[in-house]
Amino acid sequence: MVAALFFYVSGNFLNDWMDRDWDKENRPERALPKGMFSEISYFTMAIGGLGTGLIITAFYGLMALMVAGLLVGLIIQYTIVHKRAAWSVIPMGLCRACLPILGYAAMRGELSGDVFFPAVGLFVYVLALSLSARWEAKGNLPVSEKWKARGLLLGSGLFAAILPVFLQPSMGWIGLIPFAAWLLLCMRRYQSPVSTHVSALLAGIPLMDWILLLPLAKIWLSEKGFESHDPMVLIAMYLPPACFVLGRFLQRLAPAT
């Protein structure tokens, strides 16, 4: 988890460093165009953070290090091409998809097909989010792009629910309820401007995790004999919504995009 945080934050620094000239013309309110920090400080923090994340994952074995190496490669690829090619949303989505795979590899030392269900769900969700984010500096989303993004968002949630529904059909779908409720708000109340829409979708990423974790917690309690105060149950039930609320609160302090 700590390594993933290093990768994510470092990717933001690297992305802003790469965009520094574009931001001077199009997003002058950002930190580097305003001269709040030096350009070399962003680049140094980016490289140092990526390296630190790789060192941490190395302690969890070769498989975890290989997944982390792939993640770093995708971060670098996205940073280089994201202002040049529309397909850059693919490495962006793959970056997020690598995270559950990285966690599984670190804990098990191997990979399983099960982990790819939440990974693909996250990939599709971030793909839709990134397609919308590309229009942030250009105004509102065209109607065709809006419906394409909505279809992908809905599909991401349904795909992420496949594994918990397979495990327990009677309750595997309950994680879709908060996800669908927030998605509806994103499509109605927070659909414009694009920056507001993207911010709302970013805050909703933990609800994607909850699609799997909420029914898992219920399954553990009902079938596996877990206690309600078990750390895994508490994490699965309360960490995703806590992150969602914290994310929305932090967006009041600084723009999410």
- Mind listing the pLDDT tens digit for each residue in 207-244? 999 999 999 999 888 877 788 889 999 999 999 999 99
- pLDDT over 80 at 137, yes or no: no
Residue-level pLDDT at 257: 65
First to last CA, the chain: 23
- pLDDT over 60 at 154, yes or no: yes
- Provide the b/e sequence for 123-144 (b: ≥16 CB within 10 Å): bbbbbbbbbbbbbbeeeebeee
3-state helix/strand/coil string of the chain:
CHHHHHHHHHHHHHHHHHCHHHHHHHCCCCCCCCCCCCHHHHHHHHHHHHHHHHHHHHCCCHHHHHHHHHHHHHHHHHHHHCCCCHHHHHHHHHHHHHHHHHHHHHHHCCCCHHHHHHHHHHHHHHHHHHHHHCCCCCCCCCHHHHHHHHHHHHHHHHHHCHHHHHHCCCCCCCCHHHHHHHHHHHHHCCCCCHHHHHHHHHHCHHHHHHHHHHHHHHHHHHHCCCCCCCHHHHHHHHHHHHHHHHHHHHHHHCCCC
- pLDDT over 80 at 145, yes or no: no
The model's pLDDT over 15-37, given as tens digits with 9 standing for 90+, comes to: 999 998 888 888 888 888 888 98
Q: Is 111:63 a contact under the CB 8 Å cutoff?
A: yes
- Record the pTM: 0.84
Residue-level pLDDT at 29: 86
Tokens standing for residue 104: 């599984």
Q: Which amino acid is at 47?
A: I
pLDDT confidence tier of residue 198, bands split at 50, 70 and 90: confident
Mean of the pLDDT values across residues 88-96?
Answer: 90
